[in-house]
Amino acid sequence: MFNMKTGTFVFVFIVHCLVLPERTQCVTQLFAKIPENTAVGEQVIRVQTTTLAAKEEVLCNITDGNIHGRFRVDHCVIEVARPLDFAINGKYTLTVKVAGAFEVCHVDVDVEDVEGYPPIYNDTCEMPVRSHVSKDRKQGHPAFNVDVTSEFMGKTGGIIPHRFNTKNVPNGRHPYSRTVQGYSNDDCLVGVMIAAHHPKDVRTLNGLWITNNGCLRCFHSQDPGYVLDFVLLNNGEYHCPLSKDLDFNHMSHFWRKHKYILFGSFIFQSSKTQHFFCELPQDGLSLLISRDGNDFDEILATHAELEFQPVGCPPNKYGPTCDQNCTCENGARCHGLSGACKCQPGWQGVVCDIPHSTVVITVTPSDSPHIYINGSLVLHCRYFHMEIKKMIWIFPNGTKRWLQKTQEDQVKIESIQSEHNGTYRCTVITEDGVLVNASYELRAVACPPGKMGEFCEDVCNCLHGASCDRWSGCVCPSGWTGTFCQTPCPVGTYGQDCSSECHCQNAVCDPTDGRCNCTEGWYGRDCLNPCSNGLYGWRCRYICGCKNNATCHHVDGSCKCMSPWAGQWCDVVQTGISPLLHILISLFISTLLISVVLLALHKWKRATRIGQDEGVEETQALLELRGKEEDLAQSLQPGWLNRWERSADDLTLDELIGLGTFAHVRKGYLRIDGVDTIVAVKSVRGEDRLCYRAFCREAAILIAVHEQGRAGTGASNIIKLLGVITKSRPKCILLEYAAKHDLLAFIKQQAGHDVVLPLGSLLRYAVHISHALQELRHLRIAHGDVAARNVLITEDDVAKLSDFGLAHDVYTATTYVSSAKKDEDELLPLKWMALESLESREFTCESDVWSFGVLLWEIVTYGEEPIYEHNMQLSCPKLVGILRRGIRLQKPPECPRKLYGVMMACWSEEPSTRPTPEELEHRLTECRHDIDPLFVVEKETTL
């Protein structure tokens, strides 16, 4: 009999001593005690009979008491045949029959409990199983890839980067004799021992010992409380304050063979890659490197970091070096570090080889994180090693289902909802009348990937590999923030939610992990150290050329000369310069600058005076445009305004159609080639700067569209321009007349009718406007106010985009809100504006797509005004805050899910991820077909 104590570190060493008598006389009862971790094949006790000759071969058989076949007998010696487990069976009474004799021996075997045995399958530090294994690797397959990145500063100058990765080490050429000491089952503590055997490695560690650098502490990049410690041992001795909590006694057999041993330990808590930054002295860690075995060169280790990537062991292998064979049976999973077995239902024991009568509920899919709202689930009630008569399912609402043993034992749940959550119980009645229970707790609370909201119908549209939370939306990976994770971390922050503060100085901070990328002239972990004297530039790679005791700047290598030296390299003797010459040069430069400013001011005043004298001309209009839209002004050809000028005598005004603060619209008749054509006349009511700017913008855009695009051909979804009047008062823009007026009024009328126009038909107008946006995008022109009120319906039932500059003036109820900027006097359609436009007052083709999404919402709601958080009146800052939190217009009750997905795509926070007008046309066509399967794609889209 023997016992064993386990160490506080990784390996458990078993030492036992059994005193076995050479011959044991068979008596009625024999006794033996063995620990439960006795290896298979170890002897328990010898049985010998005296009825036969001593030299005669005796055979013995175990006839009773050998539960689950834990023992066997060989030449009357009882041995352990299968692994023992005290928790399952702590005592065996074996009946041994001696062949050819009448004696029957009864052997009582007591199994003793051993602390820490059997190993427990710890899910916290579960390892992956490596699928691809190099067949020609001779040194094993470490369960971790270790990547070490470091920087050194040499006396000869320059930062020397060094990188070492264990997976790149060639076979048979390891620089170290590496022994990983295993792992602690309770807290997933992994220990690593590295024993140096190469002469160069021994000299390097000797340099560390001489410089009294025997310990190194590295901190996790995300959790400072997660520490990786290294301790240098010299023949078992150490001088490191970190080592007081560590026990090195079990390593004594290693330092008998190796003088220096580097020991490290860390807690393995995740299957993800773990990143550590090592704490080095501010001025660097001094190392002595020997090249010839006698003389040492001193270098400084300025930066060091490590990555531990769990890669796991090949199948049927375990241990930190994957050098142990798994013994698990019957489909059990083998733990990658400890070799502990995770038994399948119906089995138990150290290696899962002992039958276990039980009932379990298995789930498909088996991985609970993959059970989602709106998903499906199958529960199976399975029984093992028993005969049953009946089975009872009890559901969370208390209802029961009785099944005979021949009936289906599964429960299917389609489209999982919150009401399905709860405890599902299965009770089995055996043939003996025994009741055996099993239960499963369903807690489906997450949406499928990419979905969110109460009903998991909203689309997340997350970027950069972000996950999607049901309630909060996108959960950004390290380095990203924003509603859709579209924005890099602000400068000075990094990590998850950009919540960590960078400590870099003179460097660019990596937004993912906070690493410091030093700028020129600096080095070290936080880039706090300037290049040593005589070195400069990136990584201190360059040697200064300064002479005569000049000071070299560590950033650019510029020289600060000492008197009397001068020149780039301080190698020229300085000569005197008259102070009077300095004064004269300064006066000349100042006079020249003043003259240039006065000349420019004079020309500007002259141009302004000419514009006022000549009235509304192209020069003044272009000046107005260049103040806001330089690209549009440059695209106009000379004479652009005069080419479209119409005579006021050819225009006859009729009834008023629309009235605003700065403009009104009348129905009119324009004589063209002797024929009166019905037109819409948009007139400027005032002559202030804001009104004139809007007039210039609309006229310029319409002219550019008609001269460079398709609007002038009639095959366009942009309102047709018929002319302008600028040489008389009031100034006017002449447009084609839309008999059915604007889309907003049209759909509001539909809402008041008993029979409304179907949504599929209304979406036809949205398709038309997507064509208009395609035209504008081709011309690189932004509309700035895409909304139902600015869409006109012609007599031929074609939707056309209008109001490129004066829409803000014609509709001034609650739709437009005054700008908050002091230098701007304009009204803004806040609820239709993209987030970036609200913040910057800049409009692009992408911001038009956002507005188009609001237009779709107007169509589906038959003209309701957009409302955020039940608030009709919103200031610009408040609306920005709402949108930044990811809040968007709610899905209208009758809106198809697919169509709302189009809207949400238009409202993506990142402009580049919004759909193009071409994509909008395609997706809207699909939506129309889904709404009305009989829908036929129109061959023509415009007049």
CA 50/CA 762 separation, integer angstroms: 106
Strands (E) located in 395-486: 400-404, 410-413, 422-430, 435-442, 451-452, 458-459, 467-469, 473-475, 480-481
- Name the 3-class secondary structure at 752: coil
Name which of 108-122, 353-367, 579-593, 641-655 the model is least confident about: 579-593
The CATH fold of domain 29-112: Immunoglobulin-like (2.60.40)
In the predicted model, what is the mean pLDDT of residues 920-925? 92
CA 758/CA 862 separation, integer angstroms: 11
List every span in the chain annotated with CATH 2.60.40.60: 29-112
CA 669/CA 679 separation, integer angstroms: 6
In the predicted model, what is the mean pLDDT of residues 268-289? 72
pLDDT tens digits, 192-220: 777 776 676 777 777 778 777 777 888 88
In which band, very low, low, confident or very high, does the pLDDT at 32 lie, cut at 50, 70 and 90?
very high
pLDDT tens digits, 694-731: 777 788 888 888 877 665 555 689 999 999 998 888 88
Name which of 148-152, 435-439, 460-464 the model is least confident about: 148-152
List every span in the chain annotated with CATH 3.30.200.20: 604-737
pLDDT at 173: 41
Residue 78 above 80 pLDDT? Answer: yes
Task: Report whether 831 belongs to an annotated binding site.
Answer: no
Residue 620 above 80 pLDDT? Answer: no
H helix intervals, 388-471: none
CA 643/CA 614 separation, integer angstroms: 18
pLDDT at 600: 61
Among residues 707, 726, 712, 733, which one has the least CA distance to residue 621?
Answer: 726
In the predicted model, what is the mean pLDDT of residues 799-812? 61
Percent of the residues in the chain that have a pLDDT greater than 70, as a whole number:
74
Residue 788 above 90 pLDDT? Answer: yes
Beta-carbon-side half-sphere exposure of residue 173 (alpha carbons within 13 Å): 5
pLDDT at 92: 96
Write the single-letter amino acid at 827: L
- Provide the b/e sequence for 18-34 (b: ≥16 CB within 10 Å): eeeeeeeebeeebebeb
Q: Within a 10 A sphere around the Cβ of 891, how many other Cβ atoms? A: 20
738 by Cβ neighbours in 10 Å (0-12 / 13-18 / 19+) ranks as: buried
Residue 399 above 60 pLDDT? Answer: yes
Neighbouring residues of 88: CB distance < 8 A, sequence distance ≥ 6: 348, 349, 354
pLDDT tens digits, 400-457: 888 876 556 788 888 888 888 999 999 999 988 899 999 999 988 888 888 888 888 8
In which band, very low, low, confident or very high, does the pLDDT at 636 lie, cut at 50, 70 and 90?
low
Q: What would the two tokens of residue 29 be?
A: 């009862």
pLDDT at 155: 61
pLDDT tens digits, 886-902: 889 999 988 998 999 99
pLDDT tens digits, 535-590: 888 878 788 888 888 888 888 888 989 888 988 889 888 765 555 555 665 566 66
pLDDT at 588: 65
In the predicted model, what is the mean pLDDT of residues 65-83? 93
CA 685/CA 690 separation, integer angstroms: 11
CA 74/CA 41 separation, integer angstroms: 10
Name which of 49-58, 154-163, 792-801 the model is least confident about: 49-58
Residue 316 above 80 pLDDT? Answer: yes
List every span in the chain annotated with CATH 1.10.510.10: 741-943
pLDDT at 39: 93
pLDDT at 855: 97
pLDDT at 621: 52
pLDDT at 938: 46
In the predicted model, what is the mean pLDDT of residues 101-109? 83
CA 919/CA 759 separation, integer angstroms: 20
Among residues 708, 644, 720, which one has the least CA distance to residue 679?
Answer: 720
In which band, very low, low, confident or very high, does the pLDDT at 781 lie, cut at 50, 70 and 90?
confident
The CATH fold of domain 357-442: Immunoglobulin-like (2.60.40)
In the predicted model, what is the mean pLDDT of residues 171-195? 55
- What mean pLDDT is reported for the chain? 78
Residue 937 above 70 pLDDT? Answer: no
* CATH entry, 741-943, from 1.10.510.10, 1.20.140.10, 3.40.50.970, 2.30.38.10: 1.10.510.10
- The CATH homologous superfamily to which domain 604-737 belongs is Phosphorylase Kinase; domain 1 (3.30.200.20)
Higher-scoring residue by pLDDT: 364, 73: 73
pLDDT at 808: 38
pLDDT at 614: 37
Residue 502 above 60 pLDDT? Answer: yes
Beta-bridge partner residues of 179? 193
pLDDT tens digits, 731-748: 899 999 998 889 998 898
Q: Within a 10 A sphere around the Cβ of 318, how many other Cβ atoms? A: 24
Residue 304 above 80 pLDDT? Answer: yes
Write the single-letter amino acid at 425: R
In the predicted model, what is the mean pLDDT of residues 634-663? 79
